[in-house]
Amino acid sequence: MDTKARAARIKLVAFDIDGVMTDGGLHYSDDGHEFKTFNVQDGLGIVLMKRAGIEVAIITGRNSNVVNCRAKDLGIEHVFHGVGDKRTVAGKLLEQLGLNWSELAFMGDDLIDLKAMAQCGLAIAPANARAIVKERAHAVTEAAGGHGAVREAVEFILAAQGKLDAAFAPYLDPQ
């Protein structure tokens, strides 16, 4: 099955955080507070996808309150921290939502993401993903994580489903 056909079936997209929604850098203040930089265009992409009726989840291996803040900003309800086995967590979420594996897209960049990516209907890797991950992905974005990769993936899925023009329409000049 080609990548566009895979994308046309997606009803849930799960994202890793570090290296996907961020550039993968970990920044700490002297007192141990963690900082992450998120791409605002990626954020609008997630909002557009949710408006188009596609569920969004975050499944990350690290525990981070910063991720909770970003998820809240974007209205992401399904957030899982400290996950070692992302495939199991994704499977439980699919069951909860009444979906199957072919309806899940998973975007990851490193070894911890591979089991979920191997099981899902559409595996996406950002340009900065490890080579072993890119080799196993159905699609690799031109943009790197934290630099528009999420937005690129979102627009690809919406276009494959014939929803991209409608998603953009409220922002375009009606002339």
CA R_g for the chain = 15
pTM for this predicted structure: 0.95
Token readout for 74 is 């974007």
Rounded alpha-carbon distances, angstroms, from residue 169 to 40, 160, 164, 166: 19, 17, 9, 5
Tens of pLDDT, residues 124-155: 999 999 999 999 999 999 999 999 999 999 99
All structural domains of the chain, each given as residue ranges with its CATH number in brackets, are 3-166 (3.40.50.1000)
Nearest to 52 by CA among 44, 63, 40, 61: 44
